[in-house]
């Protein structure tokens, strides 16, 4: 699964001012089920789990988590059992109606539903030790999949031929993807991150993994926070799909695209800027929108 790399950059044929161009790195096409950056982040984690002789992979996520969906599918394909520690005890009765969790279960993932309070302890050593006891010989991947192995994977997103871009734009959740991109960028490129959640704690998380400082977070386009969106965002995503044939997701990449286009219209980018936006995938996130309609 991890051998294939059918990714390319696609120019967005949009009417942009000041000779600015946007290309999209189609990481969403990496794999039909283990999409985009989650594929990158799992690659070296699963390799390490197997090398260590671990017999299952355990990770964390909310009810619509792309990371949970990707881990479950990767586990099925690579024949390693998976466990999802899921935020929200109440889901135990209704999770079969949640498309992300229903598919993860079909992929063989075993669930442990925990209260929101318990979930907050997800990186606490004591909680991890009890999980390690409960789930024998498990390899634990943190929420969102971000750790050293993940960053090794996300460093493979940028290629030699991407050095020609002046700006690289990416959606940010836990920061592992932007960290890898920063690490494999050149110092004269500017990396702009668009957090999909509220809060400024992210910078510290990115600094933990990033070896350069040519980056900046733009906090103005989270649309109220994680998994929140409005009609304006949805109609922009639809308009982009009609004009370019590229579908972005409403949780991460759509917000980034909204931000990039808004910043262009406000004159943020210098003339002749060559922008590369990373389509990190996550199209299964549309399940959430459809469900809430
Ligand atoms: C998870 C995810 C992100 C965020 O990645 P981080 O490495 O956690 O910052 C961005 N885009 C999509 C589509 C995702 O699924």
Tell me the CA–centroid distance for residue 173 and ligand 1, in Å: 5
Tell me the CA–centroid distance for residue 178 and ligand 1, in Å: 9
Tell me the CA–centroid distance for residue 17 and ligand 1, in Å: 29
Q: Rounded to whole angstroms, what are the CA distances from 74 to 69, 70, 237?
A: 9, 6, 28
Please tell me which residue, 287 or 27, carries the higher pLDDT value. 27
For the CA of 144, the closest atom of ligand 1 is: 8
pTM: 0.96
Exposed/middle/buried for 242, CB within 10 Å: 0-12, 13-18, 19+? exposed
Tell me the CA–centroid distance for residue 29 and ligand 1, in Å: 15
Q: What pLDDT, in 10s, does the model give residues 155-180?
A: 999 999 999 999 999 999 999 999 99
- The residue whose CA is least distant from atom 4 of ligand 1 is 173
For the CA of 150, the closest atom of ligand 1 is: 7
- The residue whose CA is least distant from atom 13 of ligand 1 is 282
- Is pLDDT above 80 for 200? no
- Is pLDDT above 60 for 68? yes
* Whole-number average pLDDT of the chain: 95
- Is pLDDT above 60 for 293? no
- Say what the pLDDT of residue 227 is: 86
Rounded to 5 degrees, what are φ and ψ at 167? Answer: -130, 140
Tell me the CA–centroid distance for residue 253 and ligand 1, in Å: 8
Pocket around ligand 1: residues whose beta carbon is below 6 Å from it? Answer: 36-38, 66-67, 144, 146, 171-178, 249, 252-253, 280-282
Distance, in Å, from the CA atom of 283 to the CA atom of 35, rounded to the nearest integer, reads: 8
Distance, in Å, from the CA atom of 234 to the CA atom of 247, rounded to the nearest integer, reads: 11
Confidence of residue 290 (pLDDT cuts 50, 70, 90): low
- Say what the pLDDT of residue 67 is: 96
């Amino acid at each position: 699964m991890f051998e294939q790399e059918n990714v390319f950059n696609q120019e967005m044929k949009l009417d942009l001012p000041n000779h600015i161009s946007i290309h999209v790195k189609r990481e969403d096409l990496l794999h039909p089920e283990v999409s985009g950056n989650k594929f990158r982040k799992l690659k070296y984690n699963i390799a390490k789990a197997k090398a260590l002789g671990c017999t299952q992979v355990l990770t964390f996520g909310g009810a619509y988590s792309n990371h949970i969906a990707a881990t479950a599918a990767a586990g099925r394909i690579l024949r390693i059992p998976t466990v999802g520690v899921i935020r929200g005890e109440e889901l135990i009765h209704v999770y079969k109606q949640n498309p992300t969790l229903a598919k993860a279960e079909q992929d063989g993932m075993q669930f442990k539903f925990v209260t929101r309070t318990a979930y907050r302890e997800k990186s606490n050593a004591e909680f991890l030790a009890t999980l390690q006891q409960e789930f024998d010989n498990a390899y634990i991947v943190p929420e969102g999949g971000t750790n050293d192995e993940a960053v090794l994977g996300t460093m493979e997103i940028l290629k030699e031929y991407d050095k020609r871009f002046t700006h690289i734009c990416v959606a940010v959740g836990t920061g592992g993807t932007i960290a890898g991109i920063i690490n494999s960028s050149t110092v004269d490129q500017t990396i702009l991150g668009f957090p999909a959640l509220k809060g400024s704690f992210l910078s510290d998380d990115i600094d933990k993994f990033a070896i350069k400082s040519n980056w900046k977070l733009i906090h103005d386009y989270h649309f109220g926070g994680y998994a929140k969106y409005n009609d304006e965002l949805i109609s922009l995503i639809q308009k982009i799909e009609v004009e370019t044939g590229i579908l972005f997701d409403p949780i991460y990449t759509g917000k980034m695209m909204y931000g990039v286009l808004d910043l262009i219209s406000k004159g943020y980018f210098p003339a002749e800027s060559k922008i590369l936006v990373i389509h990190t995938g996550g199209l299964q996130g549309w399940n959430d929108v459809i469900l809430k309609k």
